[in-house]
Amino acid sequence: MPPPPRRGAGMSLATYLSRTRGNRETAERIGLQDVLAYGYLVLGVLVILVPVLWTLFSSIKSERAVDSFDTRVLPIAQVETMVDGRSKPVWSWTAEDGTQRLVTKAGPTRKITDVATLEAPDQVFQVPKEALAPHEELRIATENYLDPILKRNGQETFNFLTYLGNSVFVTVAATLITLLINAMAAFALSKYRFRGRLTFTLLIVATLLIPASIILVSLFFVVWSFGIFGSLWGVIIPAAATPTGVFLLRQYMLTIPDELLEAARMDAASEWRIFWRIIIPLSLPALSVLAILSVIWRWNDFLWPLIVLISDPGKHTLQLGLTQFAGEFNSDFHYILAMTVVTLIPITLVFVWLQRFITTGIATTGLK
């Protein structure tokens, strides 16, 4: 049974609320430095999150609200109704005696505007402009998302499922190839002594210092002569071997004891089976860091796919499709915003799910 608290020895409320660590004897109060630190962090997170959240909230607003740059956070939309087969906004008209009625405009907006009630669209009468206010409701505009995805309302150009399929294919195939061949190279460099090991290591370091954008032009020639220009493989293969991946895996494999390999060799296992059965399972932590890095690189890749795949809309990745879409429909912000959100959701979910793993993994291993 715990002893009853001694009177007078309790921490004062202010100390309790403002301590940063320690028990009541060693409690440290929040100093000005802490206030500044938290202030900086909160400000930084606001700068990072507000644009993203603003995009998210804007993407569920109706076309009319987006086009008029309504800066309210909630998706408030003006109610629309069908008059003579055309969709018209509904206004709430406050008569002089204070009664309110729903009307639609029957002509251009002037000081005295022609309106008609919803019940009797043919009976046009005149009211002053000031007596009209938009009749609004809270509505999530799902059509922003559904129109391009289901190809309704003339939105045939954004083949979301094709783009998604291409992006997923490129990301998955490239990541699997990268993992396999980088692990093989790392295995050779970490567990064998052979002539030329230093040369190979230095060659791989050298590729770390060759920026991708200065070999664009001649890489185009090489990829063309291999006949993979214009196909998804032209995006997957050239960047499949990554120096970062080789070094990350090599550092990790160096910590695997050689005795395990010797024991397997005693049992007459072939070198490939040793790699597959011992090295791969034991390097899983490093492999998963590389897998995450590779997924980020490939999912977000832009310039090289732009060069290789741009001429064939059926081969566009999600990033390219979104660029083309935003370029074509420069003014249809509500669709662009919705598709932007759709594009950022997969990577955000991966991040939320694996964030601790990603940040610690990259901080300890991933330099590039």
Partner 1 sequence: MTPAGILMTALGLLWGLGGTVWLLRHRSYTAAQVPRFLMDLLGFPVELAQSVFGRGGVPYALLLPNMLIFGLFTFAPMILNVYVSMTGGPSIALFDRPYVGWDKYAGLFDCENLLVPKTCSNAGYNFWTGMYNTLWFVAIQVPVMVGAALLTALVVNRNIRGRGFWRAMFFYPVMLSPVVIANIWNWVLHRKGALNAALGDTTEAMTALAGLAGFDIAATVILAVVLMVVTLRSLGPDAPPLAWSFVFAALLAALVTWANPLSLIGRDGSGWLGVGLGLLLLWIVAQGHAARPALYAAAAVSAILLLSIQFDAVFAFDRYRPVNWLVTPKTGWAFFWLVFVFCWSHMGFYMLILLAGLQAIPADLYEAAKMDATSPFRAFRRITLPLVMPTLTVVVVLSLIRSFQIFDEVYLLTGGGPGRETFMVVQNIYEVAFASDKPDYGQAAAGSILMAVVIAVFTFLQLWLTRRQSDL
Q: 338 CB contacts (<8 Å, ≥6 apart)?
A: 59, 60, 144, 145, 148
Nearer CB in complex with partner 1: 132/228: 228
| DSSP of 105-160 | ESS---SEEEEEESS-TT-EEEEEGGGEEE-EEE---THHHHHHHHT-TT--S--H
Nearer CB in complex with partner 1: 149/350: 350
76 makes contact with partner 1 (CB under 8 A):
no
| Binding test (CB under 8 A) with partner 1, winner from 16, 38, 125, 353 | 38
57, 71 Cβ separation under 8 angstroms: no
Nearer CB in complex with partner 1: 58/78: 58
DSSP 8-state secondary structure symbol assigned to residue 241: S
Q: Which residues from 1-30 bind partner 1, rule CB under 8 A?
A: 20-21
Q: Would you call 86 helix, strand, or coil by DSSP?
A: strand
Q: How far apart are CA 75 and CA 144, in angstroms?
A: 12
Q: Smallest distance from the beta carbon of 210 to partner 1, in angstroms?
A: 6
Residue 277 backbone zone (phi > 0: left; psi -120 to 50: alpha; other: beta): alpha
Q: Which residues from 156-195 bind partner 1, rule CB under 8 A?
A: 180-182, 184-185, 187-189, 192, 194
Which of these, 98, 88, 131, lies nearest to 113 by C-alpha position?
Answer: 131
| Binding test (CB under 8 A) with partner 1, winner from 102, 117, 230, 351 | 351
Q: Smallest distance from the beta carbon of 96 to partner 1, in angstroms?
A: 31
217 makes contact with partner 1 (CB under 8 A):
yes
DSSP 8-state secondary structure symbol assigned to residue 19: B
Nearer CB in complex with partner 1: 129/273: 273
Q: Torsions phi, psi of 101, nearest 5?
A: -135, 155
Integer angstrom CA distances of residue 335 from 143, 198, 326: 9, 54, 9
Q: Smallest distance from the beta carbon of 358 to partner 1, in angstroms?
A: 7
Q: Smallest distance from the beta carbon of 84 to partner 1, in angstroms?
A: 31
| Binding test (CB under 8 A) with partner 1, winner from 54, 82, 123, 125 | 54
DSSP 8-state secondary structure symbol assigned to residue 12: P
Q: Smallest distance from the beta carbon of 147 to partner 1, in angstroms?
A: 17
Q: Which residues from 283-312 bind partner 1, rule CB under 8 A?
A: 296, 299-300, 302-303, 307
**How many of the chain's residues bind partner 1 (CB under 8 A)?**
99
Nearer CB in complex with partner 1: 124/239: 239
Site string for partner 1, 237-276 (x = CB under 8 A): xxxxx----x-----------------------xxxx-xx
The b/e string for 131-166 (b: 16+ C-beta within 10 A; e otherwise) is bbeebbeebebebbbebbbeeeeebeebbbebbbeb
| Binding test (CB under 8 A) with partner 1, winner from 103, 204, 290, 309 | 204
Residue 84 backbone zone (phi > 0: left; psi -120 to 50: alpha; other: beta): left
Q: Smallest distance from the beta carbon of 260 to partner 1, in angstroms?
A: 16
Nearer CB in complex with partner 1: 131/184: 184
Nearer CB in complex with partner 1: 90/248: 248
245, 286 Cβ separation under 8 angstroms: no
Nearer CB in complex with partner 1: 100/207: 207
Q: How far apart are CA 90 and CA 10, in angstroms?
A: 64
Nearer CB in complex with partner 1: 115/338: 338
Residue 151 backbone zone (phi > 0: left; psi -120 to 50: alpha; other: beta): left
| Binding test (CB under 8 A) with partner 1, winner from 141, 253, 322, 335 | 322
363 makes contact with partner 1 (CB under 8 A):
yes
Q: Which residues from 121-150 bind partner 1, rule CB under 8 A?
A: none
